A and B are shown apart, each in its own frame.
Chain A
């Protein structure tokens, strides 16, 4: 593909913006994948099972959707700080600490929305799968298939929550870029905060546009995958 000439010059080095995008995508994608691995089993167990305290647990999960970002950042900072329980791993001011923060933030919405989607699956579908000799895993897989659109929405919500948040990654990551401009823990959101702080509004607006486009692209891809199956 021939490179299309830019109509204007960006007010920043390309390496800077590329590294920021890479860090943002890496941290949020890993956090959301880990969240999904934890959230789906929880949603399936809670959705399938009736037990005392189920309503309470569901309420707790829903409340978690509103965790304040900066509080999560503070708690994770205490955990990973040299003085904290995870201090020996040297995680403070690293992408791993940011992943941990975003994992905590993304898990409640993915769990809650997946739970709603799974609860919406017709009980007869589960019964049919069971009658046909399916194991619990088979029943779970069938349910996930039936609820896939809702689960995709859940994952998108988690990703949106993760990639757009600034408070916790600023606290635990330190917003670090090396002297040559390559990001270590600087994300699109913390870069916007920094550029605005320095009065560089033009750069901040460009970064904001990149962030919005990125979120739209991810949404489009996931929705397309979902639609593709539905239309088959």
Chain B
């Protein structure tokens, strides 16, 4: 079959489609198929959304509803955004707000929306050699780990988790290095396995840890804000489209339909109900009784907006 460039459809059509996706199911009584039927959406995302299985749960009804295919590529936040910069994906679902804001300031990303959140947790061996269990401060816990030179396994891969980890080290005034600090460049699942093997600590998103908990002997030693832990360990997820003005091959109308879908009541319900090991993994955040439209604008943005 001939390989064809994906056709670009007007942003207006995409916006209208997204609006429809957020409000009602496509097709209705006349059974008409959506204009995007048969197309493929390339979604680059972080490992936590994929490895927990949430993404398959979310994407199956979207694929059925629109008659499309979603190619989900789990790469970690940094790589997911870089792939999008190259114009090789249509929509990005990640969890490092600072990297997302930078992505939008550079013009590559548009129409970001808050999607969901969970939290990071500091996990480690049950015998807790550094003695951080129950600490109310992530900064204190990290400082204690550094002081004790206890093994800490880092993602080291420019992911959302790594970005958060670096932020905590920065707050703790520690520049981690030396034998005790091990940068792996691996995804969250591998890092948990490595920390398990080496009796080390690591920072993990709650979802991946819970979905893998039965396979490892690590335990949560410092909780995130979902369980009354420090707010610094909050883990918000955003979703944003790639800017078709920069890459004209972006399947923008389908990307906007997807954003509309995952922020719709149905999908938010799917997110709320998704469990692993008997626990809710993610908390929906796209709908609110008091909508905050400032979420559309990157923090610190000072472009040509009229104020």
Residues of A within 8 A of B (CB): 81-83, 87-93, 96, 174-176, 178-181, 184, 196-201
Contact = CB atoms under 8 A, between A and B. Distances in A.
| Smallest CB-CB A-B distances: 6 pairs | A199-B215, A82-B87, A179-B60, A174-B73, A197-B189, A179-B59
B162 to A, nearest CB: 16
A40 B41 CA distance: 40
A31 B153 CA distance: 38
A171 to B, nearest CB: 10
Contacts of B99: none
A90 B8 CA distance: 14
Given A90-B4, A92-B88, 20 more contacts: A82-B249, A83-B86, A83-B87, A87-B87, A88-B5, A89-B5, A90-B6, A93-B71, A93-B73, A174-B71, A174-B75, A176-B71, A178-B59, A178-B63, A178-B70, A179-B60, A180-B60, A198-B51, A198-B189, A199-B193
Contacts of A82: 86-88, 247, 249
Interface residues of B, number: 36
A212 B86 CA distance: 37
B60 A93 contact: no
A81 B73 contact: no
B3 interface: yes
A90 B42 CA distance: 11
A100 to B, nearest CB: 13
A92 B249 CA distance: 12
Contacts of A179: 55-60, 63, 70, 72
Contacts of B73: 93, 174-176
A201 B88 CA distance: 32
Given A90-B249, A180-B60, A199 B216 contact: yes
A153 B26 CA distance: 56
Majority DSSP secondary structure for residues of B touching A: mixed
A147 to B, nearest CB: 37
B192 A178 contact: no
A96 B189 CA distance: 29
Contacts of B3: 89-91, 96
Interface in B31-76: 42, 47, 51, 55-60, 63, 69-75
B187 interface: yes
Contacts of A174: 71, 73, 75
Contacts of A81: 86-88
A198 B276 CA distance: 13
A171 B44 CA distance: 13
Contacts of B88: 81-82, 92-93
A89 B75 CA distance: 23
B211 interface: yes
Nearest to A82: B87
B63 A197 contact: no
A199 B87 contact: no
A74 to B, nearest CB: 13
A88 B3 CA distance: 9
A72 to B, nearest CB: 18
Contacts of A91: 3
A58 to B, nearest CB: 36
A218 B178 CA distance: 48
A93 B72 CA distance: 10
Interface string B190-223: 1011000000000000000001100110000000
Given A82-B247, A197-B189, A175 B216 contact: no
A141 B55 CA distance: 54
